Amino acid sequence: MAVTTKATIASFGGKLLKCAHNASTTSCEMAFNLYLPPQATINPLHKVPLLIYLAGLTCTADNGAEKGFFQHAASQKGIAILYPDTSPRGLQIPGEDDSYDFGSGAGFYVDATKDPWSKGYKMYSYITSELPKTVLDAFGQVDGSRVSIFGHSMGGHGALTLFLKNLGKYKSVSAFAPIANPSNCDWGKKAFGGYFGEDNKAKWAEHDATELVKNWEGDPLDILIDIGTSDNFYKQGQLLPENFQKAAHGKGTVKVRWQDGYDHSYFTMATFADDHVNHAAKYLLG
């Protein structure tokens, strides 16, 4: 589908584009932000790799682009960053806007199978297929053969599961405070029960990073995860990174860095943004 660019903003020598398109998978108009580094804007023939950022609960396509400061390192390395929305919008499904952790702003990067959510809540297909194809068709500077993914909280869950479910599709993955074992936390149980059904536990496992990593057969993992020691959602048992680390034993490196005094907010991500872009750059530019 055609892309409409609604705003162009100068950022770290490059351009942050605020875009929208009509998406068939989600049955609505979807917004996204795309950062093109100076290497791509100065020379439109220069191809740059793509890093996809998946945001957390309640977020839109704007949060990461405006608060994460990922453009700083991306401009230095010559990497484009794609910031999708976190759910369909305005589908008029009863209950869609009733809570912060289900429905609008909480698509959990899955394809819902339970009605009425199955009619538009197809964020897995949107992120893995329709959106990247739309971006590649519209922006010739972006190299679709070099793509990495990362995210925060619900988006960290999305980044880990999309990476683990699609062997070879993404060059690398990292996460800030990911919901690493959603089948065993309140956020995940609510989302998976609503989108898949309470009894469809096999489907839950297909979108749970802790379950997926047990069957990983690709190259040794190299995953960077940052979590703040003052993250209240970690303390509430929503993230469960230890379960993921245990399940990933023998599969490579899962480096969890506990950042003293940091919380679950974008202040934490902005502080360590360069590290995550540089982690992706090792694989995108190597």
Show which residues are catalytic. 153, 231, 264
Which residues 6+ apart lie within 8 Å of 199 measured at CB?
Answer: none
Pull the structure tokens for residue 271: 């502080």
Question: DSSP assignment, residue 13?
Answer: T
C-alpha 59/C-alpha 41 separation (Å) is 27
Taking the C-alpha atoms of residue 256 and residue 244, their distance in angstroms, rounded to an integer, is 10
Question: Across the strands, what pairs with 254?
Answer: 223
Backbone Cα Rg of the chain: 18
Are 47 and 37 in contact by the 8 Å Cβ rule? The answer is no
Helices 70-77 and 266-284: angle between axes, nearest 10 degrees? 20
CA distance 210 to 28: 32
Cα distance between residue 39 and residue 192, in whole Å: 41
Q: Read off φ and ψ for residue 181, nearest 5 degrees.
A: -145, 65
Which residues are 171's β-sheet partners?
none
Which has the closest alpha carbon to 45: 139, 122, 162, 109?
A: 139
The neighbouring-strand residues paired with 8 are: 17
Burial (0-12, 13-18, 19+ Cβ within 10 Å), 54: buried
Burial class from Cβ neighbours inside 10 Å (0-12, 13-18, 19+) for residue 253 reads exposed
